[in-house]
Structure 1
Amino acid sequence: MFAGGGEAALIRRYFQGLTSQREGIVNGIGDDSAVVEPPAEGCLAVCCDTLVEGVHFPADIPAEALGHRALAVNLSDIAAVGGEPLWAVLSLTLPADDSHWLEGFADGFKLLADRYGVALIGGDTTRGSLAVTVTVIGRLPKGGGILRSGAQPGDGIWVTGTLGDAALGLKRWHDRAGVPLSGDPALLAAQLFRPEPRVAAGRALRGVASAAIDISDGIAVDLSRLLEESGVGATLILDDLPRSEAYIAEGGDLATMLHGGDDYELCFCSPPLSAEMVEQLSQQAGTSLTRIGTVDATPGLRGVDGAGNVCALQSDGYDHFSS
C-alpha cells in the first residue's frame, strides 16, 4: 500500500489527465479497463517493453529521464513498423511513493507523450523494486506495416542518425565518480537517457522500405534478426557506420557501435534509392539517413574494412538470457 491516500490517490494525482487526450477514447483512467474505438480502416500495432532498475537503466537515472525513456523505447517499436502511436498503458512498480520522484517521472512521460499525440489511458501501480512497463497501441494503413521479413538481395541497408552514442554514454555515466557530466560525455549520456524515437522516419518509409527494425540491442544483433526473418545475408561497409562528433571526440570504437545497443535508431532495407529520394526522406524523417551496406543471398552478416578485408561479424548484442 502507498501512504497519503493510497494507490488510487497516487494515480489521480500524478497520472489521471496527465497527457493530452485524442480521438477514439471512450473511457480512460478510472475504470477496470480503458475503452477505445479502433480506427475505421487499417490495422492496430501493439508493443510492450519493461524497464528494470539495474538492468535497463542505472539506479541514479533522473526520474524525468526515466519517464521519457520508458515511453520512447515503445514509440521506437511503433516507428519500426511505420505506425502512428495513439494510446499508452503504464504499469509502474515503485519502492516508495516519493512525490518528488513521481512528479519528475510524470513530467518526462508527459512531455514526450504530448509531442507525439499519445494519450495515457490506463495502467497499474504496485510496490516493489523499481520497474516500468509501457504498452503502446498505434495505427497502420490498410495492409499492415513494415516487417522484418521483406528484405531482398540487392537492397541497400540504411540507418537513421548515429550509432554507439548511448552505449558510450552509459560508460561515461558510470565513470563520472559523482561529478556532473558536461560537454561531449553529457551529449552521449543524453542519447542514453532521452532517446529520440524515429516516428516520422518510420512513417516516411512506408512504401519505401522492404524491411525494418529498431536498433535496441546493437546493430549487429538487430540486423542479424532482420536478415534471419528475411532469409538473406548482408555485408556492411564498416567505415560507413555513422558516428557523431561527440562519439569520435570521446574515442568511441567500432565494437561499441556494432554491439553496444540502446541506439533506438531505425535500420531499414530498400531497393536502390536516388540521391533526391534520400534527401526527401531525410527531410521527412527529421534526421540523417546513411547507407551502411547491401543485402545479399549468402546467409550471415559480414563486414568490410577500409583495406577491403572481409570478416564475419558476430551477431552479439544485449540479450537478457544469454549465458
Structure 2
Amino acid sequence: MSGADDAPDDLPDEFGQIARLYRPLTRGAPEAFDLLDDAAAIPSRPGFDLVITKDAMVEGVHFLAGEAPDLIARKLLRVNLSDLAAKGAEPYGYFLAVAWPRDFDWPARQAFAAGLAADGEAFGLALLGGDTVSTPGPLTLSLTMLGWVPAGRMIRRAGARPGDLVMVSGTIGDGWLGLAAARGELPDPDGYLAGRYRLPSPRLDLREVLAAQASAAADVSDGLVADARHIARASGVRLRLELERLPLSDAARAWSNGAAGLAALASGGDDYEIVCTGPSPIPGLTVIGDVVAGEGVEVRAAGALVDVGAGGWRHL
C-alpha cells in the first residue's frame, strides 16, 4: 500500500500511518504481505469466479461534510458490499484509496481506520492493499471490493425475461428521506431515517436465495426506478412497476402523499436494498411489478402512468 509523502508535520510519516492505521485491517491475510509490498497476490479458488466491484465517495456529494469519520468508513465498505450482495457473492477483501485533506488530522484518520476495522470484523473482510495521498479538495475515497461466487453463477443485470416478476427487498425511500433528516430538513425523532442514510445494511443475507431464484438483480443505490431501468436495459425487456405495491417503512408511509410522493420515494437513492426479477415470488421480498416484452421502465399508480423522469441519481 503506497502512501502520501506530504502529510502535515504532526502526523506519522507514510509508512508509519500504513503500519498503524491499515496493517491491522489485513487481519493477517497472507496475500496482503503486511502491506509491505506494492501489490497483493490473490490465490485462485477452484470452482469459483472472483467478482470485483468498485465505488467512490466524495465529501459533500456522497456523505455530508463533517460526518463522523468512522461512519464514513463503514458506509464506504457497505455500499460496495451491497454490490456483492446483488451479485450473490461472498465477501472476500478490498483495496482502498484515500485522498486526505490536510485538515483531516491524526485522530480523524484513526477514527476512520477504526470504522474499517469494525465492519471488516463484522463482514469478514481483509484489507489487501491500496494507496493514500493528500488533496487540497474534499475527502475523496475509492474502494475496490472482491468476492467469490460459484463459477458461472454470478447474478447479472441481464437475465430478466418476459413473464418474470419484479421484486424488491426491505423498504424503499428511507435512504433518500434519511438524507433530508440528516440535513435537519425533515423530523426524525428516533433517528431511524438518518441512520438508514448514514449506515446502510447490505443485503448479504439474501445471497443464497437470490442465487437460487433470481434471474437478474441490482442493488438500489441510485433509486429504485433508475436501478430497475439498468436491469431492463441489460436484459432487453420492459419492467412494469406499481407504486402502490412499494414496501414502505412507517416513516416513509407517513411522509408519502399520493402518486407524487410514492414516485419521489421510488426515485430516491441510498436504500441499498435489492431489486430483482424471477419466475416466481422469492421469500422475504415484495412483488412490485412484472416483466414484459419491450424496453425501459413503466411506472403506474392507480392504473395511470406516472412520469418519474430519470427515476434516480445521475452520476455525471
TM-score (norm 1): 0.88
Indicate yes or no: 2:316 matched with 1:318.
no
Q: Is the 8 A contact 2:96 2:131 kept in 1?
A: yes
Indicate yes or no: 2:154 matched with 1:149.
no
Name the residue aligned to 2:181: 172
Name the residue aligned to 1:309: 304
Q: Distance in 2 between matches of 1:153 and 1:199?
A: 27
Counterpart residue identity of residue 313, structure 2: Y
Q: Tell me, what secondary structure is at the counterpart of 1:171?
A: helix
Q: 1:249 to 1:99 in 2, by over 3 A?
A: farther
Q: What runs of 5+ residues in structure 1 fail to find an aligned partner? A: 283-288
Name the residue aligned to 2:198: 193
Indicate yes or no: 2:293 matched with 1:297.
yes
Counterpart residue identity of residue 237, structure 2: V
Q: Distance in 2 between matches of 1:166 and 1:28?
A: 37
Q: Is the 8 A contact 1:68 1:194 kept in 2?
A: yes
Q: Distance in 2 between matches of 1:65 and 1:26?
A: 25
Q: Is the 8 A contact 1:26 1:37 kept in 2?
A: no
Q: Distance in 2 between matches of 1:32 and 1:309?
A: 57
Name the residue aligned to 1:107: 114
Q: 1:117 to 1:197 in 2, by over 3 A?
A: same
The alignment yields a C-alpha RMSD, in angstroms, of: 2.0
Q: Distance in 2 between matches of 1:216 and 1:142?
A: 26
Counterpart among 214, 223, 228 of residue 219 in structure 2: 214
Q: How far 1:157 sits from its partner (Å)?
A: 0.6
Q: How far 1:54 sits from its partner (Å)?
A: 1.3
Counterpart among 273, 277, 280 of residue 265 in structure 1: 273
Q: Distance in 1 between matches of 2:28 and 2:228?
A: 36
Q: Is the 8 A contact 2:263 2:308 kept in 1?
A: no
Q: Tell me, what secondary structure is at the counterpart of 1:35?
A: coil
Indicate yes or no: 2:17 matched with 1:39.
no
Indicate yes or no: 2:267 matched with 1:256.
no
Q: Is the 8 A contact 1:301 1:313 kept in 2?
A: no
- CA deviation profile, 1:285-323 (whole Å, cap 9, x unmatched): xxxx111110111323222323x22345434311122xx
Counterpart residue identity of residue 150, structure 1: G
Q: How far 1:85 sits from its partner (Å)?
A: 1.1
Indicate yes or no: 2:79 matched with 1:70.
no
Q: Distance in 2 between matches of 1:204 and 1:263?
A: 20
Name the residue aligned to 1:135: 144
Q: Tell me, what secondary structure is at the counterpart of 1:239?
A: helix
Instruction: State the number of aligned residues.
Output: 303
- CA deviation profile, 1:213-247 (whole Å, cap 9, x unmatched): 11111011110111011010021111111111122
Q: What runs of 5+ residues in structure 2 fail to find an aligned partner? A: 1-5
Counterpart residue identity of residue 88, structure 2: G
Counterpart residue identity of residue 120, structure 2: A
Q: % of aligned pairs identical?
A: 35
Q: Is the 8 A contact 1:302 1:313 kept in 2?
A: no
Indicate yes or no: 2:133 matched with 1:126.
yes
Name the residue aligned to 2:87: 81
Name the residue aligned to 1:285: none
Q: How far 1:175 sits from its partner (Å)?
A: 2.7
